[in-house]
């Protein structure tokens, strides 16, 4: 992946500097992965000079977003919409070193210019509400309980004047429950200069994108300053997705998977038990044949006329030994490293790329190296899960594995947890399993901001290291709190989503935790995110608020009434005092009635007289 | 002389026995303390030992424990437990502290019982005064009560409140009103609710003033001792302020009890009521519940003026039911006081029913909680129903004790009514 980046940067630097002030380019990088997966990375980038931006002069920069940013005083913005899980064990390192991915759901972090924290909070509220409308996402639900101010994890990617650094506030909000879907893609494409009508964006189809095994849409806005030139505001929109080729090839009109008929099964004929009625599925995944149009549902329709023509729109990472066919009007340029090639398209031509199966010689199946470029090994594997059972308490265990045999990995591990997950920091433990069992130096620094009920969530940042070829188990306990019944979402028994942990790998030598240092290199940060977790809380019975109010009130009334009775009333012997019985009542009524009758009687007598 | 020695020997034997039993439970079942600490019946958000450890950890790492939703206990616990060796590496010191506190409570209880205040106060002497248990028996009942042992093993910090309350009563009886007020201030500082015990405790201290310097006017006496309480409390608060560096601890310790922001289940009636309460009525019902809790104080003080210790006992029983975060520790405090009224036991009408209901709730409570939280085969109503039964059983017990005490009082006027049917009008 680094090679792509360096290539990209090279293109960027060599071709684009003359027209730096306002330009736009887009590129799609296709990369077949093991197990019949295909990583497609779409990248759209445009610049506008800061002076033009401040004068409300928008050319490539989307006006809708630009106005929001100006209104909310945002200096740098990062927005992520993600779904699925990146399978690092088989797919290797993440695209862009994980810098352009988010945890499942929506993630937003921004540097806001404000004098005070209150002002920053206010601007953050403005920003989330405006973005919520722009992207049709529930970003307005990023309230105080879901907002944190990371201390060690994020650093500005753009170049900010150092005078501003004191009044720049970093706020980070995450919505793990948000389901990313087509309604978020449409506004995303609307921000592009070609609006998804031409160029590589025509390949983006909601049906395919949200059917992917993993996908991440990213928007990054940052100021970039090259010494000696005017600063520009850069917006970079990225979509990365891992498509399951088998799944994508499934015809659109027959999307329900059915077992293929026997004669279509691909069997491993080398197995001794292979026969007409016994089939061991062949490992053919890495060696599928596909075309661009099949995978994305349509071919690429022309190129975006606004895009920089010197940047090839589509690149494909397969070994040079593999033959690739392309449609008419497309020129193939092989890269020097022998592992990738790019395609240049004539303005009006449709682009389609056909990747045929590698025909193996003889019986032997083609090796992985022949058909695809082997993915890079990531510098760290991370997995996080819940431990324990029951709805009272539990634990979180994160397994961090360093695959490198000789290099230590230093990183910042950040969790932003909801307030109803009450963590016990005194139970935090890091246990190492590996050749060196040096327990003490695993966690170098801890930043902890405990949750406050209904006001803010937990923020935990750990700067720690994993020794070479070792695995570190990070565990802590927490308690699940019971909420007011109005605080449960619909379908409370599904559980609550807990946001992904963000791991920022610190580069050697620069591993300091100093405040936001302005880095000149944009792509230094290397990130990793664990999956989100589903936390099930104890639930009350939602159907009986009235019953509970009545029962409890009755119990209290009984206690109070009983006490009151005993305290207030006098004791008498059972046969003393006024009689309380039916007889007495009867007698009382009789006497009353009798006196009444007698009055009437007297009156009638008087009349008679 | 010889008898005194025997009693002393017996007392020492009792205390040693209780301490050994607790130590044995701590050491033979090393998992038991943590298991009990996790039980909702023992540990409430305002007394849990696990939360105390978290608060301690944050305090020792310079994070304010009150700037979070976990620690809601008094600030002075922090330096106290910081002085002890860490409970995870050297748990024995913590165990010993809790055992000592339990023994101190038992000692205070023994003094209360031996004073005979329960059967013959300054203004009233029961005709049944001969029939009472010695302090040794009452201390034994307290020390070997399963609820007390469970609370001690669960290391709930309410044992400190229990100890302070019992010492306040013991001091008041022994004619040391100032010490009583100081002890009560400590109890109120730790748990807030003991402040409601101030009026009966004032009456008790007033009645038991030493003959040498008796203050005649109740008003002057009250004012003097209220100022003592105020002074001690403000000292404690300013010490807390010095320890934590801010007033944040006030909303986090007492505010939580007033507003019930933490709805963790417990044996009381508040939590489920406020889980299910409509948001617009929440503050109203909080006010009503607190008003209800404090309304008993005046009524009982006026009606049973002659026996302030009875008022204290009954109030402790009422608090064990209607406190915002009750636990079985409060029950154990109430049950510690009840045997003082051995002489009125024959006048109680529902002894069997109360015992049965309390046993029923004790055994079914954990089972239903398990069904709700772990097995998933029951829902919250199961545990809620048990807390209702528990509350009803306890309130029946309190009412019954009130009835028995009042009847005992009444029989002084009407000695011929002993053993006869009576009724109330």
Q: Are residues A474 and A574 in the same domain?
A: no
Q: Is residue B422 domain-resident?
A: no
Together in a domain, A349 and A398: no
- pLDDT of amino acid A287: 59
Mean pLDDT, residues B132-153: 94
- Does the beta-carbon distance from B277 to A549 stay under 8 Å? yes
Q: What's the domain range around B134?
A: 2-417
Band of residue B89 on the pLDDT scale cut at 50, 70, 90: confident
Listed residues A358, A377, A396: the one ending a domain: A377
Domain of A585 in residue numbering reads as 548-608
Judge whether B381 lies within some domain: yes
Q: Would you call A485 and B275 a contact, using CB atoms and an 8 Å cutoff?
A: yes
Residue A352 sits in the same domain as residue A413: no
Q: What's the domain count of chain A?
A: 3
Burial class (CB in 10 A: 0-12, 13-18, 19+), B119: buried
C-beta atoms of B424 and A556 within 8 A: no
Angle (nearest 5°) at CA B335 between B333 and B340: 105
pLDDT > 60? residue A512: no
pLDDT at A15 over 70: no
Q: What is the CATH number of the domain that holds A450?
A: 2.60.40.1170
Lowest mean pLDDT among A213-217, A362-366, B340-344: A362-366
A357 in the same domain as A315? yes
* Domain-embedded: residue A6: yes
**Would you say residue A541 lies in a domain?**
no
Output phi, psi for B279, to 5 deg: -60, -35
Q: Band of the pLDDT at B212, cuts 50, 70, 90?
A: confident
What would the two tokens of residue A15 be? 């071709």
Whether residue A287 lies inside any domain: the answer is: yes
The DSSP string of A37-105 is: EEEEEEEEEEEEEHHHHHTT--SSS-HHHHHHHHHTTEEEEEEEEEEE---HHHH-SPGGGGTT---SE
Last residue within a domain, chosen from A355, A377, A399:
A377
Q: Chain B contact for A584, CB < 8 A?
A: no
Angle between helix B328-337 and helix B91-115 axes, rounded to 10 deg: 30
Number of domains making up chain B: 1
pLDDT of res. A437: 62
- The answer to whether residue A276 sits within a structural domain is yes
Q: Nearest 5°: CA angle at B339, between B336 and B343?
A: 160
Q: Scanning every residue of chain B, which has its alpha carbon at the shortest distance from the alpha carbon of A559?
A: B395
> How far apart are the CA of A133 and the nearest CA of chain B, in angstroms?
29
The Cα–Cα gap between B183 and B225 comes to 12
Taking the Cβ of residue A493 and every Cβ of chain B, the question of whether any pair is shorter than 8 Å is answered with no
Assess whether pLDDT exceeds 50 at residue B397: yes
Least confident of A278-282, A426-430, B44-48, B375-379: A278-282
Specify if B111 maps to a domain: yes
Mean pLDDT in residue range B404-423: 88
**Same domain? A31 vs A173:** yes
Q: CA nearest B407 in A: which residue?
A: A571
Inter-chain residue contact B381 with A544, CB threshold 8 Å: yes
Instruction: Test B425 with A426 for CB contact under 8 angstroms.
Output: no
Contact residues on chain B for A570, CB-CB shorter than 8 A = 424-425
The distance of A425 to chain B (nearest Cα, Å) reads 7
A539 interaction partners in chain B (CB closer than 8 Å): 379-380
Q: Which of A403-417, A504-518, A592-606, B326-340 has the lowest mean pLDDT?
A: A504-518
CB contact under 8 A, B63 and A452: no
Report if residue A438 sits inside a domain. Answer: yes
Which of A463-467, A578-582, B130-134, B281-285 is least confident? A578-582
Least confident window among A71-85, A341-355, A381-395, B94-108: A341-355
Q: What is the DSSP letter of B254?
A: I
Across the interface, do B402 and A419 touch by the CB < 8 Å criterion?
A: no
Residue A542 included in any domain: no
Could you tell me if A325 lies within 8 Å of chain B, comparing CB atoms? Answer: no
Among candidates A424, A450, A555 on the partner chain, residue whose Cβ is nearest the Cβ of B269: A555
Q: What pLDDT, on a 0 to 100 scale, did the predictor assign at position B419?
A: 82
Examine residue A179 and state whether it is found in any structural domain, yes or no. Answer: yes
Same-domain status, A217 and A135: yes
Residue B424 lies in a domain: no
Q: Which whole-number Å values give the CA distances from B282 to A138, A538, A554, B339, in the listed order?
A: 28, 21, 18, 38
Paired residues of B424 in beta bridges: A571
Quote the crossing angle between the two packed helices B2-28 and B91-115, to the nearest 10°. 150
Residue A388 contacts B, CB cutoff 8 Å: no
Structure confidence at residue B113 (pLDDT): 94
Q: Is A196 left (phi over 0), alpha (psi -120 to 50) or beta?
A: left
Distance from CA of B423 to the nearest CA of A (A): 5
State which of A359, A377, A395 marks the end of a domain.
Answer: A377
ipTM: 0.93
Asked if A50 and A63 sit in the same domain, the reply is: yes
Share of chain A above pLDDT 70, in %: 86
Are residue A235 and residue A362 in the same domain, yes or no? yes
Indicate if A279 and A427 belong to the same structural domain. Answer: no
Chain B residue closest to A574 (CA)? B422
How would DSSP label each residue in A488-500? SPSSGGG-EEEPP
Nearest to A426 among B57, B318, B425 (CB): B57
Does A453 lie in the same domain as A367?
Answer: no
Contacts of B88 (CB under 8 A, 6+ apart): B53
* Helix pair angle (B282-303, B198-207), 10° resolution: 10
Whether B406 and A571 lie within 8 Å, measured CB to CB: yes
CA distances from B20 to B24, B26, B307 (A): 6, 10, 36
- Minimal CA separation from A426 to chain B, in Å: 6
Name the range with the highest mean pLDDT among A21-25, A557-561, A578-582: A557-561
B395 with A454: Cβ contact below 8 A:
no
> Is A429 an 8 Å CB contact of chain B?
no
Q: Per-residue pLDDT for A80 more than 60?
A: yes
Residues A102 and A202 in one domain: yes
- Looking at the fold, whether A465 and A342 belong to one and the same domain comes out as no
pLDDT band at A18 (very low <50, low <70, confident <90, very high): very low
CA distances from A95 to A41, A238, A242, A247, A527 (A): 8, 11, 10, 21, 10
């Amino acid at each position: 992946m680094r090679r792509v980046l360096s290539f990209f940067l090279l293109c960027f630097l060599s071709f684009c500097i003359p027209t730096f002030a306002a330009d736009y380019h887009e590129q799609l990088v296709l990369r077949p992965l093991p197990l019949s997966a295909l990583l497609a990375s779409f990248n759209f980038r445009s610049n506008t000079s800061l002076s033009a931006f401040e004068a409300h002069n928008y050319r490539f920069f989307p006006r809708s977003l630009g106005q929001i940013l100006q209104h909310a005083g945002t200096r740098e913005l990062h927005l992520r919409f993600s779904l699925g899980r990146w399978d690092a064990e088989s797919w290797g390192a993440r695209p862009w070193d994980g810098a352009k991915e988010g945890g499942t759901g929506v993630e937003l972090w921004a540097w806001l210019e404000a004098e005070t924290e209150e002002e920053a909070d206010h601007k953050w509220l403005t920003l989330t509400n405006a973005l919520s409308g722009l992207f049709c996402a529930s970003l307005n639900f990023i309230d105080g309980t879901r907002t944190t101010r990371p201390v060690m994890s994020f650093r500005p990617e753009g170049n900010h004047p150092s005078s501003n650094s004191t009044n720049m506030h970093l706020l980070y909000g995450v919505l793990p429950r948000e389901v990313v879907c087509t309604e978020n893609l449409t506004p995303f494409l609307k921000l592009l200069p070609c609006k998804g009508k031409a160029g590589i964006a025509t390949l983006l189809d909601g049906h395919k994108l949200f059917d992917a095994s993993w996908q991440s849409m990213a928007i990054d806005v940052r100021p970039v300053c090259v010494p000696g030139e005017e600063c520009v505001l850069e917006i970079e929109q990225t979509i990365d997705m891992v498509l399951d080729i088998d799944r994508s090839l499934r015809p659109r009109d027959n999307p329900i998977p059915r077992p293929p008929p026997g004669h279509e099964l691909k069997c491993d004929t080398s197995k001794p038990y292979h026969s007409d009625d016994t089939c061991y599925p062949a490992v053919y995944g890495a060696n599928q044949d596909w075309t661009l149009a099949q995978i994305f549902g349509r071919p690429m329709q022309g190129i975006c006329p606004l895009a920089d023509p010197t940047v090839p729109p589509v690149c494909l990472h397969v070994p040079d030994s593999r033959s690739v066919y392309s449609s008419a009007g497309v020129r193939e340029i092989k890269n020097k490293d022998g592992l990738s090639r790019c395609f240049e398209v004539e303005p009006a031509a449709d682009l389609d790329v056909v990747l045929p199966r590698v025909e193996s010689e003889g019986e032997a199946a083609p090796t992985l190296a022949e058909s695809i470029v082997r993915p890079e090994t990531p510098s760290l594997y991370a997995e996080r899960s819940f431990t324990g059972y029951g709805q009272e308490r539990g634990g979180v265990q994160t397994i961090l594995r360093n695959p490198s045999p000789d290099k230590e990995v230093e990183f910042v591990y950040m969790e932003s947890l909801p307030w109803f997950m009450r963590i016990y920091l005194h139970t935090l433990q890091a246990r190492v399993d590996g050749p060196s069992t040096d327990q003490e130096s695993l966690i170098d620094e801890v930043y902890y901001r405990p949750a406050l009920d209904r006001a803010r969530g937990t923020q935990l940042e750990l700067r720690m290291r994993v020794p070479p070829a070792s695995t570190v188990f990070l565990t802590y306990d927490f308690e699940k709190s019971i909420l007011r019944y109005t605080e449960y979402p619909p379908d409370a028994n599904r559980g609550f989503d807990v946001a992904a942990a963000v791991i920022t790998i610190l580069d050697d030598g620069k591993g300091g935790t100093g405040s936001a240092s302005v880095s000149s290199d944009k792509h230094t940060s290397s990130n990793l995110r664990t999956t989100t977790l589903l936390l099930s809380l104890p639930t009350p019975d939602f159907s009986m608020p009235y019953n509970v109010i009545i029962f409890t009130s009755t119990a209290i009334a009984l206690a109070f009434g009983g006490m009151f009775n005993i305290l207030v009333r006098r004791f008498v012997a059972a046969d003393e005092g006024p009689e309380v019985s039916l007889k007495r009542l009867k007698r009382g009524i009789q006497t009353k009635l009798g006196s009444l009758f007698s009055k009437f009687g007297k009156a009638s007598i008087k009349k008679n007289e | 002389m010889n008898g005194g020695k025997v009693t002393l020997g017996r007392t020492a034997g009792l205390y040693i026995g209780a301490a050994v039993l607790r130590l044995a439970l701590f050491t033979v079942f090393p998992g038991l303390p943590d298991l009990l600490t996790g039980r909702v019946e023992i540990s409430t958000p305002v007394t849990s030992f696990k939360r105390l450890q978290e608060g301690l950890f944050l305090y020792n790492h310079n994070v304010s424990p009150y700037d979070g939703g976990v620690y809601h206990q008094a600030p002075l616990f922090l330096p106290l437990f910081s002085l002890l060796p860490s409970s995870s590496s050297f748990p024995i010191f913590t165990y010993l502290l809790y055992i000592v506190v339990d023994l101190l409570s038992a000692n205070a209880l023994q003094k209360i019982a031996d004073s005979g205040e329960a059967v013959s106060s300054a203004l009233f002497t029961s005709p049944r005064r001969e029939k009472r248990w010695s302090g040794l028996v009452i201390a034994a009942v307290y020390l070997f009560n399963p609820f007390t042992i469970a609370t001690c093993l669960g290391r709930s910090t309410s044992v400190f409140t229990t100890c302070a309350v019992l010492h306040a009563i013991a001091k008041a009886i022994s004619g040391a009103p100032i010490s009583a007020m100081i002890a009560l201030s400590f109890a109120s500082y730790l748990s807030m609710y003991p402040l409601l015990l101030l009026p009966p405790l004032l009456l008790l201290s007033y009645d038991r003033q030493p003959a040498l310097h008796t203050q005649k006017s109740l008003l002057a006496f009250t004012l003097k001792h209220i100022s003592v309480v105020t002074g001690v409390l403000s000292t404690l608060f300013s010490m807390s302020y010095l320890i934590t560096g801010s007033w944040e601890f006030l909303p986090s310790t007492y505010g939580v009890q007033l507003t019930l922001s933490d709805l963790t289940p417990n044996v009381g009636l508040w939590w489920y009521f406020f889980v299910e309460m409509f948001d617009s009525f929440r503050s109203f019902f909080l006010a009503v519940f607190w008003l209800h809790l404090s309304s008993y104080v005046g009524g009982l003080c006026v009606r049973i003026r002659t026996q302030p210790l009875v008022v204290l006992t009954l109030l402790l029983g009422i608090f064990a039911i209607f406190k915002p975060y009750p636990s079985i520790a409060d029950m154990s405090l109430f049950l510690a006081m009840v045997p003082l009224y051995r002489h009125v036991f024959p006048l109680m009408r529902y002894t069997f029913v109360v015992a049965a209901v309390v046993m029923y709730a004790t055994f079914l409570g954990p089972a239903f909680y398990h069904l709700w939280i772990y097995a998933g085969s029951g829902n919250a109503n199961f545990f809620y129903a048990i807390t209702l039964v528990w509350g009803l059983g306890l309130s029946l017990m309190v009412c019954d004790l009130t009835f028995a005490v009042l009847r005992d009082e009444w029989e002084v006027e009407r000695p011929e009514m002993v053993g006869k049917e009576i009724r109330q009008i």
